[in-house]
Amino acid sequence: MFKQGFSLVFVRDVTPRELLIRFGCTEASLQWLTSSDTQELELEDGDEGEGAVIMAGACGEWSFALQHWGARILEEGVIEQIAAGTDMVALISTATAPAFIHVHDGHEVCGFDPGLPHLRSGADPDRYLDRMAQAGLPTDGTAVPGDPVMAMLRFTETAFGFSLSQPLLMEEEQLTGRVPDDSA
C-alpha cells in the first residue's frame, strides 16, 4: 500500500471536512488534492516547519483520513478529539508505531500491534478474536504468518466492512488539509 508508512483513520457519521477539523487542520488550508499531490506538498514544505498534511474522503457511513509517513493520530489528545461522540478505527504502519486501535466516544475498545496480536489492550480486548484469526492475526502468541500490516488491513475490512480502492486512495482528489505545527 504505502511502503514508507501511513496512518489511516475511519470515523463514523462525521464528514470528511469535520474529520480534518477534528485532526486540527485549519479551514484556510483545506483544498482538493490527489494522493501524489498531497505527498508532494508534504515533501516541499516539510523543511519549513509546516505541520502534517492529511487527506480525507467518504466510505459509506464512515469518513477516512490518510496521513502519509506519519501518525498525528497518536499525538496527545488527538484520539479523544477525533472519536468524541462516535466510533473511530485507526490503522497505523510507521517504523515506530504499527497499531490497530478501535475507540468509541474517546475510550479504547480494543488495540494491538499487528506483529504481536496476542497482546491486546482496551475495555474489550477479546472482542475481535475470531475475525483476527480469520485474517491471519493469531491471538495465541504464535508468529504472524506473512505481512502483519496486510493481515491488519484484511482484519479491518472484514470486521468493519471498510473497502477503499486503490484509485480512490491514489488517483481521485480528496479534501486535504494541514495541521499547523503549533497545534501539537
Identify the burial level of 132 via C-beta atoms within 10 angstroms of its C-beta, where 0-12 means exposed, 13-18 middle and 19 or more buried. Answer: buried
- Output DSSP code: residue 47: G
Predicted local confidence at residue 100, as pLDDT: 97
Mean pLDDT for the chain?
90
Say which residues have a Cβ less than 8 Å from residue 104's Cβ, sequence separation at least 6: 83, 86, 87, 88
Q: Look-up: residue for cell 483520513?
A: 65
According to the model, what pLDDT value does residue 20 have?
98
Model confidence over 52-77: pLDDT tens digits? 999 999 988 999 999 998 899 999 99
Q: How far apart are CA 58 and CA 17, in angstroms?
A: 10
pLDDT at residue number 166: 64
What is the mean pLDDT for each group of 10 consecutive residues in the chain (184 residues)?
80 97 96 88 66 92 92 94 97 89 96 97 97 95 93 94 72 90 64
pLDDT for 27 equals: 96
**Best CA proximity match to 10, nearest among 69, 104, 87, 114:** 87
CA 159 from centroid of its chain's CA atoms: 15
How far apart CA 147 and CA 131 sit, in angstroms, is 17
In a 10 Å sphere around its CB, with 0-12 CB exposed, 13-18 middle and 19+ buried, how is residue 25 labelled?
A: buried
Instruction: Give ∠ CA 72-113-64 in degrees, rounded to 5.
Output: 40
How far is Cα 10 from Cα 89, in angstroms, rounded to an integer?
A: 5
User: How far, in Å, CA of 135 to CA of 13, rounded?
Assistant: 26
Q: What is the pLDDT of residue 163?
A: 78
**What confidence score (pLDDT) does residue 39 get?**
83
* Residues 55, 127, 149: CA angle, nearest 5 degrees: 45
